[in-house]
Homo-oligomer: A and B are copies of this chain.
Amino acid sequence: MFKKILIANRSEIACRIIRACKEMNIPTLAVYSEADEFAQHVKLADEAVCIGPAAPLQSYLNMDAVINAALENGCDAIHPGYGFLSEKHEFNKKVREAGLVFIGPKPEPMKLLGSKVESRITMIEAGVPVIPGMKTSSKNISDFEEMAEKIGFPVLIKASDGGGGKGMRVVHKLEDIKSSVEAAMRESQTAFGSEVVFLEKYLESPRHIEFQVAGDEHGNFVHLFERECSIQRRHQKIIEETPSTAVSPELRQRMGETAVKVIQASNYTNVGTVEFLLDKDNNFYFLEVNTRIQVEHPITEMVTGIDLVKLQIRIAAGEAIPFKQEELSQNGHSIECRIYAEDADNNFMPSSGKIHFMKEPVGPGVRYDSGVYSGAEVPIFYDPILAKLIVWGKDREEARLRMINALKSNVVLGVKTSNKFMQTVLENQHFIDGDTCTNFIDSHSDDLKFNSTASLLHAFAAAALSEDTNQTQTVNHVARQLNSSPWLEIGYWEIAGGSR
């Protein structure tokens, strides 16, 4: 097993990985930017070194700084977490060239699966269902137009190297194809340095169903069942659950076998996630593979009992997967709510600042994977995830009610969160019925408006009592900055953002 692991990440996932290492008795080295001197992952790790200024490119995305930190501090492996360098095959390669173990897949499958067009070709050849559309890219607008007419509108233009909605266009009529393809190519060139785009059928109201998979160096490949991640805002998941209400045992078996086929076809080892879209007729289509640990991995852990982070480390150390497909089963139901610093009242805009106080939910079946604490700063430089609230229940209804209660007792003061909004989603009749899809939040936005004034009088009273206590301190206050919701004064916002 490894002598010491460098965790090339921050916040809750870094803390999650450190906890797994502690339980495996493997020392950990945290790396941090100057903005993260007091971050939770720095506090939890056995050792910590600063690798640069706050800007991600100069610290968490600085490949050499990370690799040097590992070499200088006696580490023999690097765990990349999710985001940051986790899916950069160049980094993966560099780590290995430096004589270190990269805890994840090999660089080649990572590179293959990072290209939407390349992986699409591989999957078509392996007999994996993909969304109808062009097999590969083209520079010829007429190829796009022909395919669009063949499969019918609406269609989606997509950048091969894209992500998070960038270089993506939904097209509803033939005459818009040309301008949309050209715009997508320009956008992709600017954002990703490649103008490779392609066209496929645009699915309306699909479900996002993904399968947790794992492969090892000994020829074993398994899946650990599905996660449904349909509840999204800004193309980003906020509530996930497993099992999916849409997946029958028969469908689960077919999708699971397909997921295994996907990783076998791409020579994928270690832990990963195969994403599918599922349409209303229960047709499923390969979307992409996430070649790293997923934010929502805990719900799979809750129902299978497998610690996925430990499994990553064991596979990277050359061990065989210690279970067979037929030994795995789904036990109960699990739901995750992501606690982001964001303002659900205002289009889920990220919120930064200081967490003045927090109180974590506890109790049977409640898990809280946190990267923050009372007194922590939430810097502006990074993804605003604070924590993940995960519950387990014997069945979906038990899990749902447990989550609502856990959200009610989850207190975060200082930055805004979608805590109350997620309660409202969980109480929505469509959610209760398991009737979820990726545009759930948009299509039910009226139902999801919550009355945030139910406890307002109590809140006012608390403030008044608090002022009493501090009276001596407050008399000297000078003129305050006008920082109340300035964006309300400006107008509306277009939201573009990374998806994960």
Chain A positions near chain B (C-beta within 8 angstroms): 16, 19-20, 22-25, 298, 301, 305-307, 331-332, 360, 362-370, 392, 394, 398, 401-402, 405
User: Which 7 interchain pairs have the tightest Cβ spacing?
Assistant: A23-B401, A362-B368, A19-B363, A22-B405, A305-B332, A23-B402, A305-B394
Give chain B residues whose Cβ lies under 8 Å from the Cβ of A363: 16, 19, 367-369
Contact across chains for B405 and A19 when beta carbons are under 8 A apart: yes
Output the least CB separation between A80 and chain B (Å): 19
From B20, B360, B365, B392, contact of A362 by CB (8 A)? B360
- Alpha-carbon distance A25/B364, docked complex (angstroms): 16
Contact across chains for B360 and A364 when beta carbons are under 8 A apart: no
> Could you pull out 26 A-B pairs where Cβ atoms are within 8 angstroms?
A16-B363, A19-B364, A19-B405, A20-B364, A23-B398, A23-B405, A25-B401, A298-B364, A301-B364, A305-B331, A305-B332, A305-B394, A307-B364, A307-B365, A307-B398, A331-B331, A360-B362, A362-B367, A362-B368, A362-B369, A362-B370, A363-B367, A363-B369, A364-B367, A365-B367, A366-B367
Give chain B residues whose Cβ lies under 8 Å from the Cβ of A19: 363-364, 405
Give chain B residues whose Cβ lies under 8 Å from the Cβ of A398: 23, 307
Give chain B residues whose Cβ lies under 8 Å from the Cβ of A20: 364
Output the least CB separation between A65 and chain B (Å): 28
Say how many copies of this protein the assembly contains: 2
- Alpha-carbon distance A331/B329, docked complex (angstroms): 11
A297 to chain B: closest residue by CB: B364
A405 to chain B: closest residue by CB: B22
A306 to chain B: closest residue by CB: B394
Give chain B residues whose Cβ lies under 8 Å from the Cβ of A332: 305
A23-B398, A25-B401 given; A16·B364 CB < 8 A: yes
- Alpha-carbon distance A360/B360, docked complex (angstroms): 8
- Alpha-carbon distance A24/B402, docked complex (angstroms): 9
From B16, B24, B306, B369, contact of A401 by CB (8 A)? B24
Interface core residue of A305, A331, A398 (most chain B CB under 10 Å)? A305
- Alpha-carbon distance A16/B401, docked complex (angstroms): 15
A399 to chain B: closest residue by CB: B23
Output the least CB separation between A280 and chain B (Å): 32
Contact across chains for A394 and B364 when beta carbons are under 8 A apart: no
Give chain B residues whose Cβ lies under 8 Å from the Cβ of A301: 364
- Alpha-carbon distance A364/B20, docked complex (angstroms): 9
A323 to chain B: closest residue by CB: B394
Give chain B residues whose Cβ lies under 8 Å from the Cβ of A365: 307, 367
Output the least CB separation between A2 and chain B (Å): 16
Give chain B residues whose Cβ lies under 8 Å from the Cβ of A369: 362-364
- Given A23-B405, A305-B332, A360-B362, 12 further pairs, Cβ under 8 A: A19-B364, A19-B405, A20-B364, A22-B401, A23-B398, A24-B401, A301-B364, A307-B365, A307-B394, A307-B398, A360-B360, A362-B368
Interface core residue of A16, A22, A332, A362 (most chain B CB under 10 Å)? A362
Give chain B residues whose Cβ lies under 8 Å from the Cβ of A366: 367
A370 to chain B: closest residue by CB: B362
Output the least CB separation between A373 and chain B (Å): 8
A394 to chain B: closest residue by CB: B305
Output the least CB separation between A34 and chain B (Å): 24
- Alpha-carbon distance A23/B362, docked complex (angstroms): 14
- Alpha-carbon distance A298/B365, docked complex (angstroms): 10
A392 to chain B: closest residue by CB: B305
Output the least CB separation between A275 and chain B (Å): 23
- Alpha-carbon distance A332/B369, docked complex (angstroms): 21
- Alpha-carbon distance A365/B23, docked complex (angstroms): 12
Output the least CB separation between A238 and chain B (Å): 20
